[in-house]
Amino acid sequence: MPEGDTIFRAARTLHRLLAGKTVTRFESVFPALNRIDEDAPIAGRTIESVFARGKHLLIAFSGDLVLRTHMRMNGSWHVYPTGARWKRPARDMRVLVSTSDVVAVGFNVPVAEFMKARDVTRHEALRSLGPDPLGERFDRSEALRRIRERDHDPIEDALINQRVVSGIGNVFKSEILFLAGVNPFRRSASLDDPTLERILEVAVDQLKANVMTPAQTLTPSFGRRTTRSLDPREKLWVYGRGGRPCRRCGAPIQSRAAGPDARLTYWCPQCQS
């Protein structure tokens, strides 16, 4: 599943390439979107902005209309010069927004809906989101309060609950808890406020580091990195490294599947005892 950093970068790229331009073509496989397009065509509207809210990507059009999409497990947005060959088959297209020079394609996007711009802040899926580490202002005290409301949950579950903190997924969950030195299976109630604040501080630091541009970091882009290493073979501390030695202490990294989706959690039994 795409995490908050992926959605943020996608929104930033789409905004850079689309904002201020006129839609020349709109297509969708969703009947609800097509009905609105038939009644009030999207073509001819100006794309005002593209922005992220946690794991939601939103495209604002002139005429008080916003397209909300959520990627779930397999969705993604691609953008191509007009006439360029797509990297995914046309059958995977779910939403298409074209301007005179670029085509934005939402592939395998499972959730897409139009709403009025004024309804964005009132929409249940958006209104209930926890504080976003990539937002203009991250409310740590509110995030801490929401974790405390989940005191009986393991901290790993609280972190990926989008109603607690938005944008954190399975990869960052494991990486954040490793860097904070916290066992992922400890109940939130067993962690004191300074520990939870440290976890939140690491979360903000890691997500923001992973949306910086190569120009900002003055380093090549190797995709998601939490180690800050320039070696592309050493991008992550624990995620996906089950059975391999911890980069800090050498102990074998452990992994465990949990939850209805059997998502794997990775941790170091010594560094996160």
User: What is the C-alpha separation between 152 and 189, in angstroms, rounded?
Assistant: 6
Instruction: Measure the CA–CA gap between 175 and 224, rounded to whole angstroms.
Output: 11
**Which residues are 102's β-sheet partners?**
81
Task: Give the relative orientation of helices 193-209 and 140-148 as an angle to the nearest 10 degrees.
Answer: 120
User: Which amino acids are annotated catalytic?
Assistant: 2-3, 55, 263
Q: Is the dihedral of CA 121, 29, 11, 259 positive or negative?
A: positive
Helix residue ranges per DSSP H, the chain: 4-18, 31-39, 124-127, 140-148, 155-160, 170-180, 193-209, 214-217
Query: Cβ contacts of residue 145 below 8 Å, gap of 6+?
Result: none
Q: Which residues contact 98 (CB under 8 A, 6 or more apart)?
A: 23, 24, 25, 26, 82, 104
Closest CA to 184 of 194, 195, 164: 195
Q: Is the dihedral of CA 209, 212, 217, 222 positive or negative?
A: positive
**How far is 270 from 107, CA to CA, in rounded Å?**
41
Among residues 198, 162, 130, 169, the alpha carbon closest in space to that of 5 is found at 169
